[in-house]
Amino acid sequence: MRILRTLLVCGSAAVLTGGLTLTAGVTSGLAATRGPAVAHPAHHLSARYLAEARAALVKYLGSHPLPDLVHPGQLHQSAANGAAVDSYNWSGYVDEATNAIPAFSRVSGSWTAPTVTCTSEDSITSEWVGLDGWGSSTVEQDGTLGWCFEGTPTYYTWWEMYPGGTVDVGSTLQPGDAITASVSRTGPATYTLALTDSTHPANSFTQNASCAVKCLDASAEWIAERPTFATTGIAPLADYGTWTVTNAQETYRGVAGNISSYPNYFPVDMQDSTDTYFLSTPGVLTGGNSFTATWHYRY
């Protein structure tokens, strides 16, 4: 069996309601074509529909796996000086520590919640900032999520201390909402995860949490993701169009900076499982703290 070319990281792989928690540019002729958009059913905003959508999502994401953390052979060499690396479920930018840890104590970024275009196929996209996950078995993260269920999108804000479960906070998130998210280490094993939805404040939160296992603080990320599941593999990536991150900041060993101010930073291209074409790719950095990721294909 061939070795995975990069690590598969879980990230935002579950969402639930009612305060519950779950454990949870290159194309090819072989690529799946972009399907026609499905008209939104009239029941989109009904309580019954939302309950059904969430129940389906819980079932779909019920087998939250331990991620397979397999590095490509030349990760550190290829990642140096901003050269891109590939992942099967991440797309965005990573700052990775190359020396003493803990390294990063804060990460933040702002974005506009993207519009998800659905087909009849269920699919998911999640956009987040976080610490760890690239080369470690924990992820401390928060962000937004779009879930296509029966041709209709639903949206959430959430936080997660993986390998703990993902916690859904706000279900009134809408495309176009102005989001600012951050994760800060406040002690040896304690964190503050905060998200502000300036458009619909009910989706905002500030959550204090602790690591159940040792968190290394060895990387900082700004990522669009499709989750990975033990029973079904990686979910189709919902069509989010584009996702633009601005004011992307990190703090490294007490010094505040942005994505490119840390020397070992690199873009991550999300690739299909056959290594033939890209599903999502980040654009170049602007000012060291802004980029736009673009959706290409679902799987």
What domains can be seen in the chain, in order of their start residue?
A: 21-295 (2.60.120.700)
Q: Return the minimum-mean-pLDDT range out of 19-23, 130-134, 181-185, 280-284.
A: 19-23
Position 274 confidence tier, pLDDT thresholds 50, 70, 90? confident
Give 36-57 pLDDT, tens digit per residue.
Answer: 443 334 345 577 877 887 777 7
The pair phi, psi for residue 42, each rounded to 5°, is -65, -20
SS3 261: helix
pLDDT value at 12 more than 80: no
pTM of the shown model: 0.81
Average of per-residue pLDDT across 121-132: 94
Task: Give CA separation, 261 vs 93, 129, 180, 287, in Å.
Answer: 13, 17, 20, 10
Give 180-239 pLDDT, tens digit per residue.
Answer: 999 999 999 999 999 999 999 999 999 999 998 889 999 999 999 987 665 667 889 999
Average of per-residue pLDDT across 267-277: 90
Whether the CB-CB separation of 86 and 94 falls below 8 Å is answered with no
Q: Return the minimum-mean-pLDDT range out of 79-83, 89-93, 137-141.
A: 79-83
The pair phi, psi for residue 117, each rounded to 5°, is -100, 120
Which residues on adjacent β-strands are paired with residue 129? 142, 222
Q: What is the reported pLDDT for 26?
A: 28
What distance in Å separates the CA atoms of residue 295 and residue 281, rounded to the nearest whole number?
Answer: 7
* Residue linked to tokens 């939250």: 64
Position 272 confidence tier, pLDDT thresholds 50, 70, 90? confident
What distance in Å separates the CA atoms of residue 54 and residue 35, rounded to the nearest whole number?
Answer: 24
Give 25-34 pLDDT, tens digit per residue.
Answer: 322 222 233 3
If one compares 238 and 272, the residue with the highest pLDDT of the two is 238
Whether the CB-CB separation of 141 and 133 falls below 8 Å is answered with yes
